[in-house]
């Protein structure tokens, strides 16, 4: 598909090449999609790239919202007090970039090993913890493939969009049944607000390379730590590797772009609603109505449960911890752990009780 190049008129007014309707663009806009006929007008022809759309269900948006209220375990008890303020269909531009990343890694580390020995004396037995340090070298090859999702917008609310693009990832294999070239769509049937793409395919590929290298780097670091421990353990039978300290790690990254999808306009149903005069948001996949994000009220009942949990954590665990510390010996160690667990649980549950909004994403 090749989109039209936008025409600039006097007074910085841009018009659609197909129907002549005015276009709303920003300095970052790569392609402006006409809100009247759906034609993609490319601002810079150097970035021309195919665009497809997943048609959303433009009618019955309210029904999607109220169905969620009826089936959600927490929300269905509040639905009589919920007021829907606004609901829209928004199309989010997304790439999915498949990247192959490989590395020939190497490194040098010092591994700390310990073992516990029981020593008999005239007064009985005692335990002794021994420590040993071994220097090891590790090297090897690693290769993996990654599919990197990328929103083609420089400013996007990732909290609400990321669950949407994560959900659509599961549909990529059957995308032929969902995606339609944008020029073949009857815009009256799918009309909604389109977020204009601002990131071209070459920038998307560069970003995907960086993300793939970052993911691969984390995996290689785990592998290197495991290899260092295993080597040290083989060199010292009976000893347990406990810590790895690296002198150096070299993890070069080579990448190859295997595939980049067209710009996919994903439909998102975005709703604002109120409960007891507070404003909340919810988002649904526009092609099947699945909830992908919601901000939900924290009710008084939930607060009470959290408070009870906080009291239990601080009272039972904390009290047992203090008792163990008082007794001394091995009980003091367990007591210290119990005290810390009680304080941490109390802090977390009290914080849960004080917040006003519960955020839920796609499960």
Task: Please tell me the chain's helix, strand, coil percentages from 3-state DSSP, rounded to the nearest 5.
Answer: 35, 40, 25
41-50, 89-98, 228-237, 316-325: range with lowest mean pLDDT = 316-325
Tell me how many degrees the CA angle 95-100-104 measures, rounded to the nearest 5.
145
pLDDT of residue 219: 97
Antiparallel, parallel or unpaired: β 82-121 and 193-194: parallel
Residue 249 has pLDDT above 70, yes or no: yes
345 vs 132 pLDDT, higher one = 132
pLDDT in tens, 153-177: 887 888 999 999 999 998 887 766 7
Residue 315 has pLDDT above 70, yes or no: no
Helix (H, G, I), strand (E, B) or coil at 284: strand
pLDDT in tens, 233-248: 999 998 999 999 999 9
Residue 224 contacts residue 247 (beta carbons within 8 Å): no
Distance CA 175, CA 135 (A): 51
In the block, tokens 């073992």 appear at 115
| Residue 9: alpha-carbon gap to chain centroid | 42
Give the long-range contacts of residues 82-87, CB within 8 A, separation 24 or more.
82/273, 82/274, 82/275, 83/273, 83/274, 83/275, 84/271, 84/272, 84/273, 85/272, 85/273, 85/274, 85/279, 86/271, 86/272, 87/61, 87/62, 87/269, 87/270, 87/271, 87/272
Q: Where are the beta strands (DSSP E) in 251-340?
A: 254-260, 263-275, 278-285, 291-297
pLDDT of residue 321: 47
**What average pLDDT does this structure show over 181-199?**
81
174 vs 128 pLDDT, higher one = 128
pLDDT tier at 98, thresholds 50, 70, 90: very high
Q: What is the DSSP letter of 123?
A: T
Instruction: Give which of 130, 141, 131, 139 is closest to 109, Cα–Cα.
Output: 139
pLDDT of residue 171: 87
> CA 212 → CA 89, 168, 207, 218, 257, distances in Å?
32, 19, 9, 10, 10
57-61, 90-94, 210-214, 251-255: range with lowest mean pLDDT = 57-61
**What average pLDDT does this structure show over 113-128?**
78
Tell me how many degrees the CA angle 115-118-122 measures, rounded to the nearest 5.
150
**What average pLDDT does this structure show over 57-82?**
89
What are the phi and psi torsion angles at 332 (to 5°)?
-65, -35
> CA 53 → CA 8, 167, 171, 175, distances in Å?
26, 16, 14, 10
Residue 86 contacts residue 271 (beta carbons within 8 Å): yes
pLDDT of residue 208: 97
Mean pLDDT of the chain: 81
pLDDT of residue 285: 95
Distance CA 105, CA 3 (A): 44
Residue 206 has pLDDT above 70, yes or no: yes
DSSP 125-147: EEEEEEEEEEEEEEEEEEEEEEE
């Amino acid at each position: 598909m090749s989109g039209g190049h936008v025409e600039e008129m006097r007074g910085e007014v841009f018009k659609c090449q197909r129907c002549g309707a005015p276009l709303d663009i920003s300095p970052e806009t790569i392609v402006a999609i006409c809100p009247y006929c759906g034609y993609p007008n490319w601002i810079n022809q150097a970035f021309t790239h195919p665009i497809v759309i997943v048609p959303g269900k433009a009618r019955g948006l309210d029904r999607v919202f109220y169905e969620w209220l009826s089936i959600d375990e927490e929300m269905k008890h509040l639905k009589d007090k919920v007021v829907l303020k606004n609901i829209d269909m928004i199309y989010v531009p997304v790439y999915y970039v498949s990247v192959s990343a490989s590395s020939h890694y190497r490194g040098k580390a010092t591994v700390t090993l310990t073992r516990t020995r029981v020593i008999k004396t005239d007064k009985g037995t005692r335990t002794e913890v021994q420590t040993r340090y071994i220097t090891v070298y590790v090297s090897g090859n690693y290769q993996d493939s990654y599919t990197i999702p990328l929103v083609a917008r420089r400013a996007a609310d990732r909290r609400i969009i990321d669950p949407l693009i994560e959900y659509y990832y599961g549909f990529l294999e059957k995308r032929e049944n969902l995606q339609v070239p944008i020029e073949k769509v009857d815009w009256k049937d799918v009309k909604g607000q389109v977020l204009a793409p601002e990131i071209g395919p070459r920038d998307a590929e560069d970003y995907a390379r960086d993300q793939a290298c970052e993911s691969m780097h984390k995996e290689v670091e785990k592998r290197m730590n495991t290899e260092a421990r295993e080597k040290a353990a083989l060199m010292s039978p009976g000893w347990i590797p406990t810590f790895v300290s690296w002198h150096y790690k070299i993890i070069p990254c080579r990448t190859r772009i295997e595939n980049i999808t067209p710009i996919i306009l994903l439909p998102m149903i975005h709703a604002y609603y109120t409960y007891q005069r507070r404003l909340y948001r919810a988002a649904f996949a526009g092609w099947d109505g699945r909830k992908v994000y919601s901000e939900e009220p924290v009710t008084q009942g939930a607060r009470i449960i959290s408070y009870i949990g906080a009291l239990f954590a601080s009272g039972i665990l904390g009290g047992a911890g203090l008792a163990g510390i008082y007794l001394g010996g091995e009980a003091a160690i367990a007591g210290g752990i119990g005290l810390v667990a009680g304080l941490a649980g109390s802090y977390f549950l009290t914080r849960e009780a004080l917040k006003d909004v519960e955020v839920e994403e796609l499960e």
